[in-house]
Amino acid sequence: MRRLLGTLYIQVLIGIALGLMVGALWPEFGASLRPLGDAFIKLVKMVIAPVIFCTVALGIAQMGDMKKFGRIGGKAIVYFEVVSTVALLIGLAVGEIVKPGAGFNIDPASLDPGTVSSYAKRAEADSVIEHLMNIIPDTFFSAFTGGDLLQVLLVAILFGFACTKLGETGREVSGWLEKIVAVFFRIIHTIIWLAPLGAFGAMAFTVGRYGLAALIPLASLITCFYITCFLFVAVVLGLIARLIGFSIWRFLYYIRDELLITLGASSSEPALPKMIEKLERLGAPPAVVGLVIPTGYSFNLDGTNIYLTLAILFLAQATNIDLSATQMLTILAVAMLTSKGASGVTGAGFVTLAATLSVVPAIPMVALATIVGIDRFMSECRAITNIIGNGVATLAVARWEGELDTARLESELARR
């Protein structure tokens, strides 16, 4: 029993269970525990930027061949676009077939626009051009403080490319980067043991602040979304995993710690550094891991994509608005753009939803007030689906590139 309690995933499970209990029994006290969850996320985010920078730059510097870098990046983008589109289509199809919003008969005039005003303003400010311009940081070092992983990725690619052109000097810099990565991963191993405490605080806040009672009126949407994400992982990602040569269920068991950390924190970012380690351990080369998974956090958000199309159809049905085929295609096209760059931070998915909804004037923006209270519960499923999708994507690109150590992958997944 002592050995079982000493494992991280059991401790995180206990933290989540205690958080649920405290939030349900003592809502005010539970809501006051938010700093525990926020502090854990901030600690992890503190080291995410340097880890990604060192990992990507080191991978490119060691790769040496920029044609290979372009080939890996191209394959990753193709994979992201195909699977992301499938996720959007699945959300659209499920919304049309199940109709989770039917029968709500909500009058938009009865909703409080102030509830979603901040989300609407952020969505309006984030135009396509501005979003692309934001990829370029103001300074080299501001990329590490802005919280945008795409900025870190851009700086790391330029740094790694420069190292490939510096000969012996570049190889010396690579050696230092390798040592710095080892230091940061040791820091992560220390921080990650605070995950049970962070999960406890985050879950207690969520339940205490919003209450389990908030789930009852919108149970149809929540249930529909969770089941759809489960089927996406089991069928779509399961098929991709089978083509690569492994079982999706063994993979989920292998990354159970990261999934529970994501569930407790309601964000996929705290699990990113450990995912990088585990994917390398599974036989994916560091250059592929360092490039694919950070990029996937902005370009391959399967859970967010399912949520976008499903939630928009729910709002249309709940307000008795019939969408035409043209409007649905417009939603699909715009969602393919707005979903790019939504980070793993809690609430980013809701801002993305507001940005997508703005292209369908038939559905009033105030309709978002219907689901704002349950978004925290939805974000947990979004984040878990996103991190699973990016893990599978990394292994898929490594296999596509012919550099996945399948024997190591099989032996690692067979471990208990």
The structural domains of the chain, with segments of one domain joined by +, span 2-413
Q: Are 292 and 394 in contact (CB under 8 A)?
A: yes
Give me the DSSP letters along 121-153: HHHHH--HHHHHHTTS-SSTGGGGTS--HHHHH
* pLDDT for the residue 240: 95
Query: Which segments of 136-237 does DSSP mark as H helices, in order?
Result: 149-164, 168-191, 195-210, 219-231
- Per residue of the chain (416 residues), what is the pLDDT tens digit? 566 556 776 788 888 888 888 888 888 888 888 888 888 878 887 888 888 888 888 877 777 667 777 788 889 889 998 999 999 999 989 988 988 888 777 776 666 555 555 555 555 545 556 666 777 887 888 877 776 777 888 888 888 888 888 878 878 888 888 888 888 888 888 888 888 888 888 888 878 876 766 666 677 888 899 999 999 999 999 999 999 999 999 999 999 888 988 887 777 778 888 888 899 999 998 878 888 888 888 788 898 889 888 888 888 888 888 888 888 888 887 777 766 655 544 456 666 777 777 777 777 777 777 777 677 778 888 889 999 999 999 999 999 988 898 999 999 998 75
In terms of Cα–Cα distance, which of 89, 103, 135 is closest to 236?
89
Q: Which residues of 90-126 are buried (b: 16+ CB within 10 A; e: fewer)?
A: bbbebbeebebbeebebebeebeeeebeebbebbeeb
pLDDT of residue 345: 46
CA 23/CA 18 separation, integer angstroms: 8
DSSP labels for 251-305? HHHHTHHHHHHHHHHT-SGGGHHHHHHHHHHTT--HHHHHHHHHHHHHH--HHHH
How many residues are given for the chain? 416
> For position 229, what pLDDT does the model report?
94
> For the domain bounded by 2-413, which CATH number is listed?
1.10.3860.10
Q: What angle separates helix 34-63 from helix 286-299, to the nearest 10 degrees?
A: 130
Supply the pLDDT for residue 101: 80
pTM for the full predicted model: 0.81
Given a contact cutoff of 8 angstroms between Cβ atoms, the answer to whether 314 and 99 are in contact is: no
Structure tokens at 343: 């980070």
Tell me if 314 sits within 8 A of 91, measured CB to CB.
Answer: no
| Tokens 């990604």 found at | 52
